[in-house]
Amino acid sequence: MNIPVSAVLITKNAEAILNECLSSLSWCDEIVVVDSGSTDATLAICKEHNCRVIHQDFLGFGAQKNFSVLQAKNDWVLHIDADEVLTEELKQSIQTELPKHHTTAVAFELPRTLFFFGQKFNYGRENKQSIVRLFNKNKCNYDLAEVHEKLIVNGSVASLQGELLHYSYASLSEYFDKFNVYTSKGALEQVKKNKSRSRFFIFLFAPFYFFKFYIIERNFMNGYAGLLWAIISSFYVFVKYNKLYEYRYLREK
């Protein structure tokens, strides 16, 4: 029994890994790309893979993803990012498990593994982290968070085998290009929730989160790339909450 699947992506200037991403989706019934104004080769690459491309000005990550899901013609949607690639094992697992469980499960979680600074993370939280990306659009939807949006699942979740390879950032320059945007959006989300943090706790965030990312999440086993990931991830948290403090207190003066 074949269950048709719509692959759905949101993009903007996502050419780096896009060809490999779309190639790994060739088995899908359709590929829908919602683009918010790419000026690089993104649209040309999409054309090569016969994607259905729809322009939509960026609405925020949660709202943009919900809009993209609504464009899919099938009930079952595989929503992945343009820097993610399905392994052959994961593709086969979807094609095997979806027909078995599509009436009892409303979503499937799959293992995602990080590639960063030229290295695959074979240990820790970033290795085969379970994440829900295949789901019935009638039973699931994203929240409206500006950044770090979450999929709300109304029903049971089954599991898949294989890996979704996440080529997170093409370079450190790309990471820090997004860093300022994401930390600002993250801080504003905290403002909307009426959250606050004292300077004392913000000061403790950097060493605490470095210990968490490097030791507890075992990134020390991922070599230099793991050390770098722990440093910049803890710095991300530190900057986000300093921006929250700035928005809540300094700008009110």
Residues 68-107: pLDDT tens digits? Answer: 999 999 999 999 999 999 999 999 999 999 999 999 999 9
H or E stretch at 213:
none
Q: Is the pLDDT of residue 253 over 70?
A: no
Q: HSE (CB half, 13 Å, CA atoms) of 221?
A: 11
From residue 238, alpha-carbon distances to 50, 193, 207, 247 in Å are 43, 18, 9, 14
Q: Give 151-180 pLDDT, tens digit per residue.
A: 999 999 999 999 999 998 888 998 998 899
Where does 6-71 have alpha helices with state H?
15-23, 42-48, 61-70
When pLDDT is averaged across residues 21-37 and rounded to a whole number, the result is 98
| Token digits of residue 81 | 């990012």
Q: Residue 188 above 80 pLDDT?
A: yes
Q: Which band of pLDDT confidence, cut at 50, 70 and 90, is reported for residue 251? A: low
All residues at 6 or more sequence positions from 70 whose CB lies less than 8 Å from its CB, including other chains: 137
128 DSSP 8-state letter: S
Helices of type H across the chain: 15-23, 42-48, 61-70, 88-101, 172-192, 199-211, 223-248
Place of tokens 């490097």: 214
**5-167: which CATH architecture?**
Alpha-Beta Complex (3.90)
Instruction: Supply the pTM of this predicted model.
Output: 0.88
pLDDT in tens, 35-51: 999 999 999 999 999 99
Q: Please say if the pLDDT value at position 1 is more than 80.
A: no
252 falls in which pLDDT band (50, 70, 90)? low
Q: What is the dihedral of CA 141, 58, 78, 144, to 10 degrees?
A: -20
Residue 132 · residue 151 · CB < 8 Å: yes
User: Start-end ranges of CATH 3.90.550.10 in the chain?
Assistant: 5-167
